[in-house]
Structure formats: structure tokens, C-alpha cells
Amino acid sequence: MAVCMDNNLIGKVTIITLKTGIVVGEIVKLNKEYFAMKVISDRSNGRIDLDDFYQIQIENEQSTDVYVLLAKIESVHNMDATMMMLIRPIEEKRHSNKRQSARIKLSAIYDYSISMSFKKFPPIGQKWIRGRASDISTGGVQLVASDYISSGQLIEVQLNKPFVNESEIIVSRIVHVRKEGADYVYSIQFLNLSEKHSERLYEFVQLMKSTI
């Protein structure tokens, strides 16, 4: 499989979708037929069935492209408190990530700050950090907060109204951070925004653009 030949995929965030939730990991090794994934967080709430086929998404933080694979989990290993999975891709396609829309600057619409919470991932033992959303698109959000988290860190972002109708916690990545006065400005990329909420957020951005 071509995806297993691409050494640039080492270190990339990988999301496995199960019926009971998701498993988030990082590719640590690959060859012609398999790749090994270190599990960062298992939120599947269920048993991994080695006979099933799973959809696996490999994110590319440099663009909106993703690899979407149909794959089998060949084996699961626990080594020194680290879970590893050996995965064999069956089918592969590359396509654009969630439908992209232009970012909308929220200060152009609202005369108050819209709060949004985030915390380090995996979330065990981590506290929610309250931030202020300054702009948003279906690909991510810019948040301003007083707490510091380094660039490249995986986080969870809680997406609420007015952006979506139902609250969703999204695995995300900090792609850039800069100091601005006493605060930090974070550029955040959404990694597993659901199709339903992606559509709703796209509609929100398009509607807000038409009112400016």
C-alpha cells in the first residue's frame, strides 16, 4: 500500500473509528504492508475485534488533505504501560478533509467574547482552560487564553452554541501559538469534527459572512 511506503507519515496523528467511540494514536513505524501505531488515548469503550474492518484517518497538519483507510487491526500489544497496534491497510483513498470555509472574525459579528474551553489530550487529570474564540472555520478555531500550551500539543476543544446545536468535544491540535500581551493566541486545527457538526459549522460561517 502506498500509504505504508510514505515515511512522512511517521509521527502523524491517527484516528480509528469504532462503533463505540474512537482510538487516537501516532504512527511510529511502517513498512510495505503494515504500520505500527502507539495509542495516545483509547476512548472506544469496547473491545477491539480483530476480525472487523475499521475506518482509519491519518491527518496532515500541513494541508486539508487526509488519508482515509479501510484497515484491519492485526494485533494489540501492551508494552511498558504503552498500547501498540499493528494495522494492515486494505483500501486507501486520499481526499479533502472536512469541507472548508473561510474563517469568520467573530468580533465583526458579536460585541462580546464567545468563550470556548479546551484542555490537553489525553484528558485524564487535565483541567479545562477557558479561552475566547476570535475566529472560526470548519477547519479550526483561533482561541485567546491566559494559560500556556506548546505548539504541536494535542488538545480537546468543547464546541458549543452558537457554532453547533449540540455540544461536541473535538480532538484537535495546536498548530501555532504566539504571545500577545498577557495572553496567548492559539491557532487550533480540528481533527475529528463529525460530519454533522462540520455541516452545521459551515452553515454558521456562511450565514455570518452574509450579514457582515
Domain with CATH 2.30.110.10 in the chain: 2-96
The class (CATH top level) of 2-96 is mainly beta
What does pTM read for this prediction?
A: 0.74
pLDDT in tens, 141-174: 999 999 999 998 889 999 998 988 888 888 898 9
CA dihedral sign of residues 60, 99, 20, 51: negative
CATH ID of 104-211, from 2.40.10.220, 3.90.1150.10, 2.60.120.260, 3.40.50.1370 = 2.40.10.220
All CATH 2.40.10.220 domain ranges of the chain, comma separated, are 104-211
Please state whether the peptide bond connecting residue 122 to the residue before it is cis, i.e. omega within 30 degrees of 0: yes
pLDDT digit string, tens, across residues 78-108:
877 788 999 998 887 665 555 556 778 888 7
Task: Give the three-class secondary structure for 163.
Answer: coil
